[in-house]
């Protein structure tokens, strides 16, 4: 069995064996709520006057998203529900599958979890961002496990490679 076949079997196992209307609604809510969470992070940074960190979030999110979208169209991988008739279609997306932009945004957002969060909320954020969003992306038949793994890796790497210092230099060049 090659990686594509293993990927598809994992999606089928989760999507077909555990399909539930209630889980579908939860999946849609969780997957798309990452954008609301990202907006909250931006608001929190703005409210706490952490403008350099806010600009860093903006730069990394925009450049990272462009990178992820470019990879999607370069690779052109079909979505699991387009490959197998067995998969229950939860919702359809027009763009290619690889890598997952939701996993990218989730893992990127984890880098910016507010320092002011109490420990229990940081842990809850970790479960939500690092596990639930990628899991439901696979469960819904929208992504393969390898899609979310690569999207997550990009989300982990980008804010470390494109540092706050680099973002500040970009900001200085814009306003010179």
CA separation for the pair 154, 134 (Å, rounded): 13
User: Are the C-beta atoms of 175 and 39 separated by less than 8 Å?
Assistant: no
H/E stretch holding 153: helix 145-161
pLDDT, residue 131, reads 95
State the Cα–Cα distance between residues 27 and 18, nearest whole angstrom: 12
Burial class (CB within 10 angstroms; exposed 0-12, middle 13-18, buried 19+) of 19 = middle
CA separation for the pair 108, 157 (Å, rounded): 8
- Give me the pLDDT at residue 145, please: 96
SS (H, E, C) 52-106: HHHHHHHHHHHHHHHHHHHHHHHHCCCCHHHHCCCCCCCCCCCCCCCCCHHHHHH
pLDDT at residue 176, rounded to an integer: 67
Per-residue pLDDT of the chain (176 residues; tens, 9 = 90+): 787 888 989 999 998 888 888 898 899 999 999 999 999 999 999 999 998 889 889 989 999 999 999 999 999 899 998 988 989 888 888 889 999 999 999 999 999 998 888 999 999 999 999 999 999 999 999 999 999 999 999 999 999 988 888 887 877 777 76
Peptide bond into 99 cis (omega under 30): yes
Neighbours of 163 (CB within 10 A): 13
């Amino acid at each position: 069995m090659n990686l594509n076949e293993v990927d598809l079997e994992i999606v089928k196992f989760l999507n077909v064996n555990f399909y539930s209307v209630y889980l579908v609604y939860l999946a849609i809510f969780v997957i798309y709520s990452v954008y609301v969470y990202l907006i909250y992070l931006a608001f929190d940074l703005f409210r706490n006057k952490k403008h350099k960190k806010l600009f860093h979030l903006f730069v990394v999110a925009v450049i990272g998203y462009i990178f992820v979208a470019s990879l999607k169209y370069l690779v052109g991988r079909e979505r699991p529900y387009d490959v197998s008739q067995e998969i229950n279609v939860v919702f359809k997306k027009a763009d290619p599958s690889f890598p997952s932009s939701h996993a990218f945004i989730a893992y990127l957002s984890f880098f910016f979890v507010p320092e002011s969060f109490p420990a229990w909320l940081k842990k809850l954020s970790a479960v939500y961002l690092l596990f639930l969003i990628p899991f439901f992306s696979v469960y819904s038949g929208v992504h393969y496990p390898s899609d979310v793994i690569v999207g997550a890796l990009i989300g982990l790497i980008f804010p470390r490679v494109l540092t706050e210092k680099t973002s500040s230099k970009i900001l200085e060049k814009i306003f010179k």
